[in-house]
Structure 1
Amino acid sequence: MNSKLEQFKKSIKDKKVAVLGIGISNIPLIKYLVNLGVDITAFDKNTQEKLSDALSELKGLSVKYILGEDYLESLNGFDIIFRTPGMRPDLPQLVNAVNNGAELTSEMEVFISLCPAQIFAVTGSDGKTTTTTLIYKILTEEGYNCWLGGNIGTPLLSKIDEVKESDKVVLELSSFQLMTIKKCPSISVITNITPNHLDVHKSLSEYIDAKKNIFLNQTENDKLVLNYDNEVTKSFANEAKGQYVYFSRVNNIDTGVILKDGKIIVKNENEEIEVVDAESIKIPGVHNIENYMAATAATIDYVKPETIRKIATTFNGVEHRIELVRELNGIKFYNSSIDSSPSRTIAALSTFKDKVILISGGKDKGIPYDSIGQIIAEKVKCLLLIGATAPKIEEALNNYINQTDNECEVKIIHCNTYEEVVNRAYAEASPGDCVILSPASTSFDMFKNFEHRGNTFKELVNRLK
């Protein structure tokens, strides 16, 4: 019996609970709390009309609703408040509620505190979804009963009754989810850290501090996996409470996971264990070699090397991450809608040997674009721009060309709609070319999320004749 869970169920029945946000992650939470007999009020800034699909899922349940722009003004008299991940915890209404005695938490925080199974969790600016998926697939292939959650998979608090102590739980955690988390996973992985989400975080230091919450409260028996090649994550070893393990693609570190003679190696004081030849990894790109190295460092104590090798040679990758959509008249179309920052686009473009036709741009989240100029000059022959960041991306390219006296020529085309940008990309392409959607920006100017953006792109590409 999970005694912590039983105590939670018993205590929450007497509480007045608010759930902020009636979205994908919180609908299962609301249903779960209703089934526990909780007095629950659901809040959302959207109108009843915009929430029609979500509200139909909750129809017939004993839930009170407060909707509309001023929804947080009614956040009074609650014992427990579940915030949605993207909501800052320092909003005045939330601070006021906490000052008046409310407990501010989230679905993920409660799950981590109650979960009886060992938790593997991944965060980082880039590569966290792929790394999380790899850890989940490796552990599952080894024979463990695994659960996948956080930013991907199923909201897990609603499944907590089914999770056993012998299971393994694998979570992808964003900086937003980590801002207030206090209990840490036993295996924490940080893939890398570059400037990101500065439209929500007040500063880069706040963003970094949020990421550090994945390990700051670990114990001496826990494990932290860090990217040695990233200066920010490398420095986190100084604050690790338990064991830390580095992985490095470019440095021959004394212990950890390294790339040596083209092979991923686990290097201990007394031996080197070959895990997989990097060339046999099915998903392309040096960043995916790093993702496998991170996953190896996290799982090697629990699986056989051949298990990792099997996944590496068979796994086709995660949707919206350099995903081959189709080949038409010798032209390949790739969807990498997940690329919501310059660093992700740099990694995506680095996987191609020849120059590509790049579709880029989207919502501006306040991060610099200087770094993207060089890779576009080197890897792109036609640049199709759309969205608010289009001028920033063009400026980064022009600045690089002017500063280096580079004579490269990149054709630049500005577009207003995704239908226009896909049609123009096809018109510019010749047999043997690759067209890739890699926005280097968030999707919230035109789309609900990066999946919506990627699916729209795929639908338009599949319409081409």
Structure 2
Amino acid sequence: MVENVLVIGAARSGVAVSRLLVKMGYHVLLTDQKEILQKNELESLGIEVYEKGHPDSLKERQYAFLVKNPGIPYTAPFVAYFVEKKIPIYTEIEIAFRARKDFSYAAVTGTDGKTTVTTLLYEMLKSEKPALVAGNIGTPLSECALTAENQEYAVALELSNFQLLGIDTFAPTVSTVTNLAPDHLDYMDSLESYYSSKMKIYEHCDPQAWFIRNVDDENIVHFAQNIPCKVIDFSLFRKDVDLYKDDTYAYLHDQILFKLSDLKIVGDFNVGNAMMAACMAYRMGISLESISRVIASFHGVEHRIEYVGTVRGVRIYNDSKATNTHAACAALSAFDQNVILLCGGKDKHISFDDLKQFDSKIKHCFSFGQTQDAFQSIFTHQTSCQTMENALKKAFDCARPGDVILLSPACSSFDQFKNFEVRGEIFKDLVAQLGGEAI
């Protein structure tokens, strides 16, 4: 008898996992609050498509399990009904893993840095073997599982805690939690539940797998317990650990991974990101020569302390991906003085007090969006603006040669922009328009 699976949410990952489930032999029902543009094509595959709402009739069917878009809260009424009925609810990561056990997975989560680690890791993997990059970084893993030919791939996989909440057997070869800081408190029940959800990344690993544990992060040390696989302790400051550095090299045990001066991306935190990526690549079978070569050629991730250009002697950086204070602190720590900070966005109910430590290096803060006034008590020199464009105009008026203009919002983008990528692209366009000269 063919089992039913209900997929809630028809975004890119929902459509991909629906197709994959059909290929796996399930009968799929797909529902979304909005219009589903691929409705006819999906129905031609035998998928039952329900758009512009979730009809109550779907509650009357029997399901082997549900697959939920990671962004839909478990407290949403339609989802909560199935939670109460104790029907298993997965995210597409779990389904893709079940479909492609032949892939080897290197999984990265954490509050910040995960995109840099994942991107750098992917560059290392693809230098020597067939490789894919997927997950929270853009391409659904189900899409990779569906379209990849009958070939074994090494997968660099970025995972959000939303995606990790819906796994049940997923077991990577190597994994890490880059760091933990307050985030997503508009979605999670508590800070503890957010931190705990990240630890699901190693929950089902076998003893031969590796988990890289950042012992510099007290939250990780506290929450990373009962680890079933080999633990690789990592530190930027200690040398009594497995993954460490001195003034010249990064090491795994007594093995040199790469030379620190070869790294092009700025900030101590990026040294840590590179060390984690290199260690993961090493576990996945990549040679030290390839690791060093990629380290030397890597110029960073778009929207993450991305150098935009210099206008009238003022350096400008796009850090739109900094959607919380922890990421903004990391960016500010990469600069010395005379930073003109552009920040603000959607309120995620997170304190901005961590930013006070950088007050002495902030020449002026121009904050915008929903949280524009929240920075008045954080920085000595602060001006509230309605939009990012207003903030940038004022920043240009304020800036003098030698200053740095840094967009590092410390907030999500959803009050005024579709996502942080759009926010970053608009920022770069505005710099080109308002700069008044070639960049």
Shared fold by TM > 0.5? yes
Contact 1:247–1:297 (8 Å) recurs in 2: no
1:96 aligns with 2:66: no
Q: 1:228-243 residue pairs with structure 2 within 5 A?
A: 228-236=215-223, 238-243=225-230
1:461 aligns with 2:401: no
SS in 2 for 1:149: strand
Percent identical: 32
Deviation at 1:237, TM superposition (A): 5.2
The separation in 1 between residues aligned to 2:403 and 2:39, in whole angstroms, is 48
Deviation at 1:35, TM superposition (A): 6.6
The separation in 2 between residues aligned to 1:331 and 1:74, in whole angstroms, is 60
The separation in 2 between residues aligned to 1:316 and 1:84, in whole angstroms, is 32
The C-alpha deviation readout for 1:45-84, integer Å capped at 9, x for no partner, is: 34x3xxxxxx44444431554444x637554115242200
1:420 aligns with 2:408: no
Deviation at 1:303, TM superposition (A): 2.1
Contact 1:264–1:293 (8 Å) recurs in 2: yes
SS in 1 for 2:211: strand
Contact 1:82–1:104 (8 Å) recurs in 2: yes
Question: Which blocks of at least 5 consecutive residues in structure 2 are unaligned?
Answer: none
Q: 1:275-290 residue pairs with structure 2 within 5 A?
A: 275-290=257-272
Q: Aligned match of 2:373 in 391, 402, 416?
A: 391
The separation in 2 between residues aligned to 1:60 and 1:239, in whole angstroms, is 46
1:378 aligns with 2:353: no
Relative to 1, partners in 2 of residues 1:72 and 1:230: Cα closer, same or farther, differing over 3 Å? Answer: farther
Contact 1:364–1:442 (8 Å) recurs in 2: yes
Instruction: Name the residue aligned to 1:4.
Output: none
Deviation at 1:181, TM superposition (A): 1.2
Instruction: Name the residue aligned to 1:346.
Output: 329
Relative to 1, partners in 2 of residues 1:424 and 1:210: Cα closer, same or farther, differing over 3 Å? Answer: same
SS in 2 for 1:389: helix
The C-alpha deviation readout for 1:320-341, integer Å capped at 9, x for no partner, is: 1011223222222211111011
Question: Which blocks of at least 5 consecutive residues in structure 1 are unaligned?
Answer: 1-10, 49-54, 398-409
SS in 1 for 2:201: coil
Contact 1:121–1:188 (8 Å) recurs in 2: yes
The separation in 2 between residues aligned to 1:172 and 1:195, in whole angstroms, is 19
Contact 1:245–1:297 (8 Å) recurs in 2: no
TM-score for the superposition, normalised by structure 1: 0.85
The C-alpha deviation readout for 1:252-298, integer Å capped at 9, x for no partner, is: 22x4111212421222xxxx222223232111111100101111222
Instruction: Name the residue aligned to 2:140.
Output: 155
SS in 2 for 1:180: coil
Instruction: Name the residue aligned to 2:119.
Output: 133
TM-score for the superposition, normalised by structure 2: 0.90
For 2:12, give the aligned amino acid.
I
Q: Aligned match of 1:315 in 264, 276, 298?
A: 298
Instruction: Name the residue aligned to 1:182.
Output: 168
For 2:106, give the aligned amino acid.
F
Contact 1:386–1:416 (8 Å) recurs in 2: yes
Instruction: Name the residue aligned to 1:357.
Output: 340
For 1:198, give the aligned amino acid.
L
Instruction: Name the residue aligned to 1:43.
Output: 31
Deviation at 1:436, TM superposition (A): 1.1
For 1:454, give the aligned amino acid.
G
For 2:69, give the aligned amino acid.
T
Cα RMSD after superposing both structures:
2.3
Deviation at 1:187, TM superposition (A): 1.1
The separation in 2 between residues aligned to 1:450 and 1:81, in whole angstroms, is 29
1:198 aligns with 2:185: yes
User: How many equivalent pairs are there?
Assistant: 426
The separation in 2 between residues aligned to 1:314 and 1:21, in whole angstroms, is 39
SS in 2 for 1:307: helix
Instruction: Name the residue aligned to 2:417.
Output: 447
The separation in 1 between residues aligned to 2:413 and 2:77, in whole angstroms, is 27
The separation in 1 between residues aligned to 2:423 and 2:30, in whole angstroms, is 28
Relative to 1, partners in 2 of residues 1:319 and 1:329: Cα closer, same or farther, differing over 3 Å? Answer: same
1:27 aligns with 2:8: no
After TM superposition, the structure 1 stretch with the greater mean CA deviation from structure 2, 410-419 or 288-297, is 410-419
The separation in 1 between residues aligned to 2:174 and 2:395, in whole angstroms, is 43
SS in 2 for 1:357: strand
For 1:261, give the aligned amino acid.
D
Q: Aligned match of 2:210 in 218, 223, 247?
A: 223
